[in-house]
Structure 1
C-alpha cells in the first residue's frame, strides 16, 4: 500500500482513479482506501479491454493496475500512458 499512498499524495482531492484489479479481498480494501480519501473510482475492471474502453470514455488522473503473470498488464500500462496520458501504478496483489 505504500506505493499507492505515495502516488495518492500528489493527487488533488476528488481525483479520478481507474482500478484494473481483480484480486479479492485486496481489491475491496484498495477501493475503500480510495473512496475514504474522497477519490472517484472508475471500475474495478477485470480486463485490459475494459480498462481501455473506460479510459477512452471517462478520463482518469491515475490508473492502478494489477501485475499479471503474463505481460498483459505492462502492455495495458503502456497503452494507458501513451494513448490516454494516464499515469499508472503497477501492483502485485499480496498472496
Structure 2
C-alpha cells in the first residue's frame, strides 16, 4: 500500500477513540490486509472486510459504525461513491474512499 494511502487512513482514524467501529468494504488484498492490521493495531473494532455494497449496508444497519473505509470497485468506480453517499444519508456515517490499486 502506498505511503499516501496509509497517510490518508492514518489521518482518518487519528480522531477515533480506541474501540471505535470501522466498516471496511474492500476487495483488494493489497489494501485489505494492511488496512485490517493497521486498524487492529490501533484498537479499533472492524466490521468486515465485506466485498459488496449490499453487505456493507446490511452491517451498517445493525451496528453503530463510526467510519467506513470503502474501496471503489475497479469495474464500477462510481459504486464506491454510491455506497458512501448511502451510508452518509441513511446513518450519518462518514467515509474514506480508496481508489483501486493500479
> Normalization by structure 1: what TM-score?
0.94
* Cross-structure match for 1:24: 29
- The structure in which a higher percent of residues are helix is 2
RMSD: 1.0
Q: Unpaired segments of 5 or more residues in structure 2?
A: 1-5
Task: Decide which of 12, 15, 28 is 2:17's aligned counterpart.
Answer: 12
**5+ long unaligned stretches in structure 1:** none
**Which residue of structure 1 lines up, in the alignment, with residue 98 of structure 2?**
91
Please list the CA deviations of residues 31-86 of structure 1 after superposition, one character each: whole Å capped at 9, or x if unmatched. 01000000000000000000000000111100000022321111000000110111
CA distance in structure 2 between the partners assigned to 1:66 and 1:25 by the alignment: 11
Distance 2:17 2:101 in 1: 27
Runs of 4+ in 1 over 2 A off after TM superposition: none
CA distance in 2, matches of 1:34, 1:62: 12
